Amino acid sequence: MSASAIFVLDLKGKVLICRNYKGDVNMADIDHFMPLLMQQEEEGMICPVITRGNVHFMWIKHSNLYLVATTNKNSNASLVYSFLYKLVEVFTEYFKELEEESIQDNFVVVYELLDELMDFGFPQTTDSKILQEYITQEGAKLEVAKTKVPTTVTNAVSWRSEGIKYKKNEVFIDVIESINVLVNANGSVMSSDIVGSIKLKTMLSGMPELRLGLNDRVLFALSGRDKGKTVMMEDVKFHQCVRLSRFESDRTISFIPPDGESELMSYRINTHVKPLIWIESVIEKFSHSRVEIMVKAKGQFKKQSVANNVEIRVPVPSDADSPKFKTSTGNAKYVPEKDLVLWTIKSFPGGKEFLMRAHFGLPSVENDELEGKPPITVKFEIPYFTVSGIQVRYMKIIEKSGYQALPWVRYITQSGDYQLRTNV
Amino acid sequence: MQEWANQLCENRQFGSKMTDSKYFTTTKKGEIFELKAELNSDKKEKKKEAVKKVIASMTVGKDVSALFPDVVNCMQTDNLELKKLVYLYLMNYAKSQPDMAIMAVNTFVKDCEDPNPLIRALAVRTMGCIRVDKITEYLCEPLRKCLKDEDPYVRKTAAVCVAKLHDINAQLVEDQGFLDTLKDLISDSNPMVVANAVAALSEIAESHPNSNLLDLNPQTINKLLTALNECTEWGQIFILDCLANYTPRDDRESQSICERVTPRLSHANSAVVLSAVKVLMKFMEMLPKDLDYYGTLLKKLAPPLVTLLSAEPELQYVALRNINLIVQRRPEIMKHEMKVFFVKYNDPIYVKLEKLDIMIRLASQANIAQVLAELKEYATEVDVDFVRKAVRAIGRCAIKVEQSAERCVSTLLDLIQTKVNYVVQEAIVVIKDIFRKYPNKYESVIATLCENLDSLDEPEARAAMIWIVGEYAERIDNADELLESFLEGFHDESTQVQLQLLTAIVKLFLKKPTETQELVQQVLSLATQDSDNPDLRDRGYIYWRLLSTDPVAAKEVVLAEKPLISEETDLIEPTLLEELICHIGTLASVYHKPPSAFVEGSRGVQHKRLPGSAGSGESVDSPETTSTAGVSDAPPAVIPSQGDLLGDLLNLDLTPTTAGPPPPAPSSGMQLGGMDLLGGGLDSLLGGDLGGTPAIGAGFGAAPAALPASFSAPVSGGLDDLFDLGGGVGMPMGAYSPPKSVWLPAMKAKGLEISGTFARRAGVIQMEMTLTNKAMSVMTDFAIQFNRNSFGLSPAGPLQVLTPLSPNQSIEVALPLNTSGPVMKMDPLNNLQVAVKNNIDVFYFSCQYPISMLFVEDGKMERQIFLATWKDIPNDNESQFQIKDCHLSSDAASNKLQGSNIFTIAKRTVDGQDMLYQSMKLTNGIWVLAELRIQAGNPNYTISLKCRAAEVSQCVFQSYEAVLKN
């Protein structure tokens, strides 16, 4: 159904650790993986599934590691990739960084985790907070605690343990909206959307029941309310703690939250947004002599708001040299290893317009390799503001002990995949 | 490996952090002995350290199997961590030391009764991984206990262990009754146990397709759906994948399952979403298209599919491969989502190529301007494969969307100006196709193409260019020089180019005989005398003889008008597509290949089919059918004697049963494999003197309750009739397709009987026929040809009857048609004259196709254009008809018509009368506009049709009537 075995390889394809779950694929077949991958890379045709005979390798790369699942069946590929990414998540939460060294340093726990995370190719408990209750790094210390399976493992509420206690009961809600924009060289917006995410930091005792109220247009339409601004969410994805059937029937977001930090939900909004930071660029390339770049950035948001840590990356040819810059604000520098000019503006008020000019020399002998046309990309963060106008209307917290808890809300808008194509 | 361990310890030696890596230091030579001593130490701590060192050596690939007895001795410990390590060692080496593995059995048995559930579960989990035949039977008792354990953590682990054991010794598991216990676990109170039981059963069922393990019934389905809300994300996937194998009894059950599955589309895990999409795509087949819920469901599918594109790149890739299938099966779902497939600079190449593929599939008149702008952008990228595909895509757009052809051609010319070698070559290849699609329209660009002759070094581009020069030789002044220049290196060219060159020069000669005689002789001699390629020689000789014996005939042959090329070149064959839809999310859907093509030992496995179109066997077999069909007494396996059967069938009440059984789908494609002799026999028995008239067909359709399930396949025509008579229960699959009727009776065709119908499936017109051999001898060598007809219908490929047709056998054939054949107006307009040949003789018959087969998918006109066109068409061209006795609401009618590509553009209600404004487009580009008036409570509809070619109106009206009443 899914994986026959899971391997963690280093960059050269050497097996660091592996676990054979089903025994129906020869474990030595993994030796073919790296040569095949390198062949694909050479041909410029890499693909997340590699086939050799009747063995299929499904792989992902994380820092200096390859995580590979093998199978000889018609496996559920999306399950396998989800699982591999889950593996990365769990290992990262256990070891802070997942890399070659952390695997070697913790091989006993890695084996234990591999044993617990998957059985005969079926993923099992993968919630690292719960796993940490009975699989721990310091074996000796926790001998006592480990004599019991946390009931959470098999509970319907498999993401929260019982008996959590806080002196002060609080929940922090972050509403973060990322703007994805793709602008053509002629300045027309090809596609734009908003991907929002609501993150929680829960510090609540016991088994609290939470209900989150948003100004969701569908909900308002259902309940016949028509006051105020509402937001139409194109698609919503929830953490597994949210009761999906409840949401489907009456749009109520009700859940027992995981303890600590988690992403409660994400949503996508299709409405056409005006790119918050608009870039106009003129890049003139005079072959064998120089490149001249003029970039104008304009804040297309309210005057009261300020975009922080704005970074505008402008690509330059790889053989450019002797950079010269002039900016009306902020700081521009050349990043030769990435072939770009990085223009940073710490604070960018709405409605303002700034200018940057750059001048590069080009060698007289031209690089005859064709270069791609990377787009200009922009990064920024605007606090206290969401583009979509989404609002947390309430967060009801009910726990049987009847304590009072405070919800805190914070709004941020930031750049997502923000690309403006250039004409050079 | 050794090196790694050593290097590692060196690195670590000076580090202050003491980590597991220190255990790797002991794997130097000669230390096995030392380890042995440590393993046998009295001190617990030392023992544990030693086992860790052993595992470390194992991890770096060193053989430490020699320590087997010593490690197993450490097994009896109350230290969980140590126990886990020993178990891990056991799993790795038990197979190489089967005799010693027995030593471990006692501990397993004991551990399975440990008070700590973690240990019980660990023992049962590890047990199953020790693949040693000898010890499996000792494990049965502990497993039996664990399956009934009070702790759900142990039960869920034991459930998986059954699958493990089954993999080692299936017989043992069956004998011990574990499968029944496993089935009982589906009713367990704990959702995770249910999920693992489902996973284990599915796994076992997959390797034993005939075991009938997962006999899903509404009760179990209900249990699964309940567990679905409560189990982990992975459990949800197991359950959804299992649900996807179920075939609901009727559309109501199908809808209720869909309703309970749709909330999963909001799950954060992409794999849950895709598995839910699979269930919905499959069950949707059973929903009537005029159902409101059907439309709601369609709308719900697009947003989650789009969101999958923000997942990690590998998951995006799986999603894109699946969207590619979904777009082919149900184009309406994604048709407004073009923008999300625009390629980002930083997308990995595999994502880029897939997005491009989907963009072409979604390209339509409405979005073509944007698409072209994007494609042009991509064509100037640097990634060679991507650029090539982008250029090819521009060509495909030109062929697909006629209105854009001109813009595409000019874009291609711009790209040729870039002089980037591979761009130029790719552009020339696609321009050749554009010439073929739109003859005599864009030849003005030939001069530009010729300028680039010298830069072409790829065979495909050279061949394309040569074809162009040959085809348009009369317009290219120096065609002879150009072709001659290729001739010099004739023998170095690839076969493709050689063949093309040969043909092109012959064409040139036929067009300009005076000045090219020498050239043609040269190429003919090169091809026939100096070449050792048989294809080339053959073609050379044919031309030679043609030219020397009958130049006029040669001209007719070589310069004959070529058939037009079709729009969609790489559509997946419909039966395969259906199978792949059943495998959404799996490797099959990624490869676009059936599992049987890449999984060993799965050739005997049934091909999954969509419920609407699967062989009707399943539903005929269901108890409900038995009871409604009326002849339920006869045991299903007994076949009545001939006389009785005939009698029964004839006496059957032919009035349709109202509470009809779920409509088994008329088979859509070819009947795979199972051509049943029995069925054929009975068929011919009936057909012999009764000729399979619809009435008998209907009776037959009701009868299979008394016959084996497999029987229904050859008579699906009959079943079809039944449901058509039943009215309203019709199968909502694609465009309306009339029931099969006999086109060629056996007596007129020396024993060959052909009955058939036409259908439009996923945009492809098909002629679906049942060929029955009622003669005494085997029939072979089937072929088919059409006479010229009103819409240029012609077979898109040869008639696929691969095996000889034995006496009393029949075969289902689906012949895809295109509309690029020669055109001649027929009377009636939709008449088609067909010639079928076999080894006995050639037979002729004529049949009429419903004109709705020719309504194309993009026949929805813009409102404004509709208004303008309606006014523009003279009133003389308007014809009015009455459709009597139709009881559909206007929405239902509109939905039903949409299934046949009749699109409602606007609806107006005046005085309780609904006016639907509708448009449809024929394959030859003729638009038909309609106004359908429906008065509430009045079963008679009025329809007005307007069309520039008024003669089609009568046929269109007939189609309206047929679609609405079925």
Contacts of residue B8, Cβ cutoff 8 Å, sequence gap at least 6: A104, B21, B24
Q: Which string of b and e fits A128-166 if b means at least 16 CB within 10 Å? A: bbbbebbbbbebeebeeebbebbebbbbebbbbbeeeee
Is some CB atom of chain B closer than 8 A to the CB atom of A367? no
Is some CB atom of chain B closer than 8 A to the CB atom of A106? yes
Is some CB atom of chain B closer than 8 A to the CB atom of A384? no
Q: What is the CA radius of gyration of chain B?
A: 34
pLDDT of A147 reads 54
* Neighbouring C-beta atoms of residue B461, cutoff 10 Å: 22
Q: What is the largest CA-CA distance in chain A?
A: 78
d(CA A343, nearest CA chain B) in Å: 20
The one-character DSSP state at B655 is: S
How far apart are the C-alpha atoms of B739 and B725, rounded to whole Å?
10
Asked if A76 lies within 8 A of B156 by C-beta distance, the reply is no
How far apart are the C-alpha atoms of B187 and B155, rounded to whole Å?
13
The more confident residue out of B886 and A5 is: A5
Six-digit token string for A100: 């070659």
Asked if A46 lies within 8 A of B350 by C-beta distance, the reply is yes
Helix or strand or coil: residue B930? strand
Q: Which of B19, B117, B203 sits opposite A1 (nearest CB)?
A: B203
**pLDDT tens digits along B268-306:** 999 999 999 999 999 999 999 888 999 999 999 999 999
Asked if A154 lies within 8 A of B192 by C-beta distance, the reply is yes
pLDDT of B681 reads 37
Six-digit token string for A352: 């303002």
Helix or strand or coil: residue B673? coil
pLDDT of B665 reads 40
How far apart are the C-alpha atoms of B793 and B784, rounded to whole Å?
13
Asked if B306 lies within 8 A of A234 by C-beta distance, the reply is yes
Is some CB atom of chain B closer than 8 A to the CB atom of A145? no
Tell me the count of A-B CB pairs closer than 8 A. Answer: 265
Q: Which residue, among A120, A141, A339, A415, would best test binding to B if mutated, counting the most B CBs under 10 Å from its CB?
A: A120
- For the four alpha carbons of A114, A115, A120 and A125, in that order, the dihedral sign comes to negative
d(CA B602, nearest CA chain A) in Å: 9
Contacting residues of A for B43, CB less than 8 Å apart: none
Q: Which of A48, A105, A149 sits opposite B314 (nearest CB)?
A: A48
Q: Report the DSSP pairing between strands A170-183 and A406-420.
A: parallel
Asked if A195 lies within 8 A of B1 by C-beta distance, the reply is no
How far apart are the C-alpha atoms of B910 and B890, rounded to whole Å?
13
pLDDT of A269 reads 93
Q: In chain A, what is the straight-line distance between the N-terminal and C-terminal CA atoms, in Å?
A: 49
Would you tell me which residues 224-243 of chain A have a C-beta closer than 8 angstroms to some C-beta of chain B? 234-240, 243
The confidence band for A3, taking pLDDT boundaries of 50, 70 and 90, is very high
Q: Which string of b and e fits B396-432 if b means at least 16 CB within 10 Å? A: bbbbbbeebbebbbebbeebbeeebebbbbbbbbbbb
Asked if A247 lies within 8 A of B157 by C-beta distance, the reply is no
- Residue with tokens 């009931």, as numbered in its chain: A151
The confidence band for A148, taking pLDDT boundaries of 50, 70 and 90, is low
pLDDT of A137 reads 60
The confidence band for A227, taking pLDDT boundaries of 50, 70 and 90, is low
* Neighbouring C-beta atoms of residue B697, cutoff 10 Å: 26
Q: Which of A54, A107, A149 sits opposite B118 (nearest CB)?
A: A149
Comparing CA positions, the residue from A29, A54, A110, A117 lying closest to residue A80 is A117
Three-state DSSP string of chain A: CCCCEEEEEECCCCEEEEEECCCCCCHHHHHHHHHHHHHHHHHCCCCCEEEECCEEEEEEEECCEEEEEEECCCCEHHHHHHHHHHHHHHHHHHHCCCCHHHHHHCHHHHHHHHHHHEECCEECCCCHHHHHHHCCCCCCCCCCHHHCCCHHHCCCCCCCCCCCCCCCCEEEEEEEEEEEEEECCCCCEEEEEEEEEEEEEEECCCCCEEEEEECEHHHHHHHCCCCCCCECCCEEEECCCECHHHHHHHCCEEECCCCEEEEEEEEEECCCCCCCEEEEEEEEEECCCEEEEEEEEEECCCCCCEEEEEEEEEECCCCCEEEEEEECCCEEEEEHHHCEEEEEEEEEECCCEEEEEEEEECCCCCCCCCCCCCCEEEEEEEECCCCCCCCEEEEEEECCCCCCCEEEEEEEEEEEEEEECCCC
Backbone angles phi, psi at A392, to 5 degrees: -85, 115
* Cβ proximity of B368 and B397 under 8 Å: yes
Position B611, amino acid: P
Q: Where are the beta strands (DSSP E) in B704-748?
A: 741-744
**Domains along the sequence of chain A with CATH:** 5-132 (3.30.450.60), 170-273+387-420 (2.60.40.1170), 277-383 (2.60.40.1170)
The confidence band for A167, taking pLDDT boundaries of 50, 70 and 90, is very high
pLDDT of B861 reads 85
Six-digit token string for B105: 């059995």
Q: Which of A71, A74, A236 sits opposite B588 (nearest CB)?
A: A74
Asked if A45 lies within 8 A of B306 by C-beta distance, the reply is no
Backbone angles phi, psi at B858, to 5 degrees: -100, 40
Position B122, amino acid: L
* Cβ proximity of B381 and B388 under 8 Å: no
Asked if A149 lies within 8 A of B317 by C-beta distance, the reply is no
Contacting residues of B for A16, CB less than 8 Å apart: 59
**pLDDT tens digits along A347-362:** 999 999 999 999 999 8
Asked if B52 lies within 8 A of A108 by C-beta distance, the reply is yes
The one-character DSSP state at B827 is: S
Contacting residues of A for B585, CB less than 8 Å apart: 76-79
d(CA B96, nearest CA chain A) in Å: 14
Contacts of residue B552, Cβ cutoff 8 Å, sequence gap at least 6: none
Contacting residues of B for A262, CB less than 8 Å apart: none
CA distances from B784 to A381, B219, B798, B810, B836 (A): 68, 50, 7, 17, 5
d(CA A135, nearest CA chain B) in Å: 9
Residue of B nearest to A106 (CA): B20
Six-digit token string for B481: 């020089």
How far apart are the C-alpha atoms of B127 and B123, rounded to whole Å?
6
Comparing CA positions, the residue from B204, B293, B281, B299 lying closest to residue B240 is B281
- Residue with tokens 């006993």, as numbered in its chain: A108
Three-state DSSP string of B155-189: HHHHHHHHHHHHHHCHHHHHHCCHHHHHHHHCCCC
Residue of A nearest to B350 (CA): A47
- For the four alpha carbons of B605, B609, B614 and B619, in that order, the dihedral sign comes to positive
Asked if B232 lies within 8 A of A371 by C-beta distance, the reply is no
Six-digit token string for B745: 């009776």
* Cβ proximity of B510 and B546 under 8 Å: no
Q: Which residue, among A21, A67, A76, A271, would best test binding to B if mutated, counting the most B CBs under 10 Å from its CB?
A: A76
Q: What is the CA radius of gyration of chain A?
A: 26
Contacting residues of A for B242, CB less than 8 Å apart: none
Comparing CA positions, the residue from B306, B439, B818, B506 lying closest to residue A236 is B306
Comparing CA positions, the residue from B666, B646, B651, B650 lying closest to residue B724 is B666
* Cβ proximity of B529 and B502 under 8 Å: no
Low-confidence residues of chain B: pLDDT under 50 = 1-17, 26-27, 613-733
pLDDT of B265 reads 96
* Cβ proximity of A81 and A107 under 8 Å: no
* Cβ proximity of B823 and B791 under 8 Å: yes
Give me the residues paired with residue A235 across strands: A268
Give me the residues paired with residue A231 across strands: A216
Q: Which residue, among B124, B130, B155, B269, would best test binding to A if mutated, counting the most A CBs under 10 Å from its CB?
A: B269
Asked if B262 lies within 8 A of A71 by C-beta distance, the reply is no
Six-digit token string for B921: 């487009």
Comparing CA positions, the residue from B360, B401, B356 lying closest to residue B378 is B356
Position B273, amino acid: V
pLDDT of B257 reads 95
Six-digit token string for A82: 């989800």
* CB half-sphere exposure, B791, CA atoms < 13 A: 29
Contacting residues of A for B420, CB less than 8 Å apart: 370
Mean pLDDT of chain A: 90
Asked if A15 lies within 8 A of B61 by C-beta distance, the reply is yes
* Cβ proximity of A242 and A263 under 8 Å: no
Residue of A nearest to B11 (CA): A101
Is some CB atom of chain B closer than 8 A to the CB atom of A223? no
Q: Which residue, among B233, B580, B591, B605, would best test binding to A if mutated, counting the most A CBs under 10 Å from its CB?
A: B233
How far apart are the C-alpha atoms of B502 and B529, rounded to whole Å?
13
How far apart are the C-alpha atoms of B404 and B413, rounded to whole Å?
14
Q: Which of A15, A122, A236 sits opposite B160 (nearest CB)?
A: A122
* Cβ proximity of B250 and B286 under 8 Å: yes
pLDDT of A114 reads 95
The one-character DSSP state at B924 is: T
d(CA B255, nearest CA chain A) in Å: 15
CA distances from A224 to A227, A229, A248, A254, B489 (A): 9, 14, 17, 20, 80
Asked if B350 lies within 8 A of A125 by C-beta distance, the reply is no
Q: Which of B152, B206, B269 sits opposite A82 (nearest CB)?
A: B269
Is some CB atom of chain B closer than 8 A to the CB atom of A23? yes
